[in-house]
A and B are shown apart, each in its own frame.
Chain A
Amino acid sequence: MSAPQDTFDADTSNRSWWERLRAFQQDKPHLFLLLIMVMVPLFLMNPSTWAVLTLSGLAMGAMLFLMASGMTLTFGLMNVLNLAHGSFISLGAFAGATVLTMWLNDYTSGSLWVNLVAVVPALLFALVVAGLLGVLFERLVIRPVYGDHLKQILVTVGGSIIVMELLQVIWGSNEIPVPRPEALRGALLIRDAIPVIGGIALEKYRLLAVVLGLAVYALMLWVIDRTRLGILIRAGVENREMVEVHGYRIRLLFLAVFVAGSALAGIGGAMWAMYREIITAHMGEELMISVIVVIILGGLGSVRGCFYGAMLVGLINLYVGFLEPRLAAVATVGLMVAVLMWRPQGLIPVIKV
């Protein structure tokens, strides 16, 4: 990895900007695309709108990252395509909403502190419930169909129907409103934030989403890059058999990753619930499309790619949604098709599919 970097640095002096740009586009396609994605809309709208949209896009991207990272790791590590991932998102949303509703009803005082703290148990509960379902799901649904993609697709689609129906048994089939804590409503107004642009209003909840997303991303990168568990995961993505030959039980490793991924999907779902303030059992199914686009964009199995893919999808959704709302979904899928034509393995490919 570092070898091309060296040569790149060595002779920058006698290269034209065009060549440098091409080298950049070759070496860092994810940054290149993100840069273009952020810069182009700047010419199409006024700067303060752009700033607000960019933050919203990043917030949406952060939540998508939470939801998608588990699925990409599951695929990368164990070659398992879990199309029921969306039902974990829904479950997290309902679990989080339940805690929030109870908590906020008990403490109607509206105290700022209680309000803010209510988010934590809600997210934790979503994490635990989705994680537990993950254990069950891995044992009952996925374990019998390792190594058979066709059956995985069928069984996980069936599993997602069952989970989705059970959610409706427990929480009813109607939409449920989700209270967002008072402390997270409204926006932070920053006057004269940037000289030319002037004041911008940053919605608090979106800031929280971005911060949480970045925190989880940093944590995941740390685990994957710096810890023994991370080395194992990366090794497993590359060659499962050799991990076993070294004496590690890859099934156990996979169970851990699957549960972690489910738990993250749960948190993502809970965050999304507070963001939209209304949820249905089918929300996970609808989000699955974005999640799938994200993991394809990033390159299946790559956490870094997943992060950039999520940001790209979040941004294009918001930008296009502002310019021509009807085309938001089409633009998202169009982005995916375009990237696939450019780089069939995704932005940061990890494994050959």
Chain B
Amino acid sequence: MSATSHIFALPADLPLDSGQSLSGVEIAYETYGALAQDKSNAILVCHALTGDQYVASPHPVTGKPGWWERMVGPGKPVDTDRYHVICANVIGSCMGSTGPQSLAADGAPYAMRFPVITVRDMVRGLVALLDGLGIEQLQAVVGGSMGGMQALSLAANWPDRAARVLAIATTARHSAQNIAFHEVGRQAIMADPNWRDGAYYTGETTPDAGLAVARMAAHITYLSEEGLTEKFGRRLQDRPDGTKGAKTFGFDADFQIESYLRYQGSGFTRRFDANSYLYITRAMDYFDIAEEHAKDGKEGKLADAFAGAQARFCLVSFDSDWLYPTAESRHLVHALNAAGAPVSFVELSAPFGHDSFLLDVPALDRVVKGFLDG
């Protein structure tokens, strides 16, 4: 669908949770649908780890359709005939917003000189964008996975900025298992000799092998075992020359699942920056809303984080998602109940694992539409 691309230059330095600040920040974003005169119909869609602002328009690098075209568009659950949809690339990413490949004040890319950021820092950038656009309160903030973390972070830290909060397949904090998988990915990147401590922007080569392995490992966590078995099982991969797949007694991609993962990994390196992957996974690992709201040396309680919440909340989990399982959403629901916030929660049945939020799950469409319009 038709989208408008924009770059917003932050008028002031962006303070960061680390205590540092970032100057000259730019945020790249897409908009869809008309903004009402009173600016009351804006919906902010937040993207996941490797997502971007192209939620419902073709990706400029891959040419593929927007990552949530099935959800966002005219007459779709996030209806651009009714709502003005904004989707911005988070800071630290690589699709036009300021990140490690952006140029620092000295004219060279930041690379690993880029400050470590948090999910709250990303959201602080988004709030600065909303300020710039003159949007005081969103009709809704919506996101899945890391997008859901941003939606929750906005609700906890800027409680008057969104009337509705829709967080799908997400969590209030990264678990040891979540951190572990991310660390595998980061180590794969940093073990690639082409990474060169992150200073690869000026050279001929980039750490594609490491980034591809990181993506392969992460991709497994986005799928369910049932889904993998159904899609690939132990089936063998036919050769490019057309010969039937067979065990080669070597280390080619004999199995279809190997071939698929390699394809996913190499495709990813064409559109994503390895250092951005390091920074964004780090931000997700640091994510813990309760901890952010710890006071006076006491352990933070999740309910306290949402004590001032004014919004209506809707949480959705999927029964086959083992990355951010239903228990994580329930944990959030209990905290929101304790805080007295109006909250809906449903665990939907879908076979696709964590990626279910991006795929064909008609029940999700109905929930999203009902929640946004209700």
> Is chain B a partner of chain A in the same complex?
no
